[in-house]
Structure 1
Amino acid sequence: MTSMSDARTDPPAEPMQKQSLALGISAVAAVMLMVVAALSILEGTVAIAGDELYFAGPEYLYALDTTTWGWVHVVLGIVGMVCGIGLLFGTAWGRYAAIGIAALVIIANFLSLPYYPMWSVLVIALSIAVMWAVATWQPER
């Protein structure tokens, strides 16, 4: 004979696993966004300093001087850091802003491809990964 005290009232493990997975994805996305932001700040700093690492190739349709591109990358990097911190704390604005700033970083790096192509491709790939991670994260309401 089974008594009522033997019946377990533990919550099912599946919702807990989904929540921990969502937390993990959001943490990875936040850290990746902060890495992309740090790379953008470094890229912009190199361009502003006029260092020889930054290559100014032939003219193209979206031609701006390297100092302008440097400031664009620094500003995007700073905003990306703020968005990454917001995403790390799980704010809704951080989630939407993370996708938006990652998209802007992709556009800025696409436009600056002729100046430093390999670096831009790396940052574009990381930004796509950030957008994917944030978009697949479905926090439970």
Structure 2
Amino acid sequence: MTETHSSHPPAAERHPARQAWAGGLMAFAAVTLLLTGVLDIFRGVMGIAEDDIFVSARQYVFRFDVTGWGWIHLALGAVAVIVGMGLFSGATWARVAGVVIAGLIIVGNFLSLPYYPVWSVVMIAFSAFVIWALCVVRPDRFAD
């Protein structure tokens, strides 16, 4: 009964810069998704409370009630905050859910562009950064 020892150090010791890069991107994605979620919650509350806060576009292909959009953004924001907190643990489910919820936030903000265009573009950009950060580095692949 002999023990076999590998002459290679653990993956974290071989690539500390990659570990730091992956951890930094996960933290970036978590904070950005939390921020996106909180902003979406505020947007939802504004849409539910006051329809007059938003600019209304009459000739848009997607016609929805602004209060309905408020509920959609409130729900997306709440889920984004929960997933953003889960990203701090680095869990795979949180990474997958983060990409999905950021994608849904992009779609929701695209569809509500005529109601509040600048805010929608900012939220789309934040969500795109979240997707990029969650997809670009795979912390489980450091064993070169």
**TM-score, with normalisation over the residues of structure 2?**
0.85
Aligned partner of residue 53 in structure 2, secondary structure = coil
Q: 5 Å matches for 1:38-77?
A: 38-50=38-50, 52-77=52-77
1:81 maps to amino acid = V
2:78 is aligned to 78
- The 8 Å contact of residues 51 and 67 in structure 2, kept in 1 or not, is answered as no
Q: Which structure 1 residue ranges, 4+ long, deviate > 3 Å from structure 2?
A: 10-14
In 1, the alpha carbon distance for the partners of 2:105 and 2:138 equals 23
Q: Is the 8 A contact 1:19 1:140 kept in 2?
A: no
- State which drifts further: 51-60 or 79-88: 51-60
Where does residue 30 of structure 2 map in the other structure? 30
Number of residues of Structure 1 aligned to a counterpart in Structure 2: 133
- Partner residue of 2:3? none
1:119 equivalent to 2:114? Answer no
Q: Which residue of 2 aligns with 1:95?
A: 95
**Which deviates the most, 36-45 or 51-60?**
51-60
Q: Retained in 2: the 8 A contact 1:41–1:74?
A: yes
Unaligned 5+ segments in structure 2 are: 1-8
The separation in 1 between residues aligned to 2:32 and 2:48, in whole angstroms, is: 24
The higher radius of gyration belongs to: 1
Gaps of 5+ in 1: 1-9
Kindly state the Cα deviation for residue 13 of structure 1 after the two structures are TM-superposed.
5.8
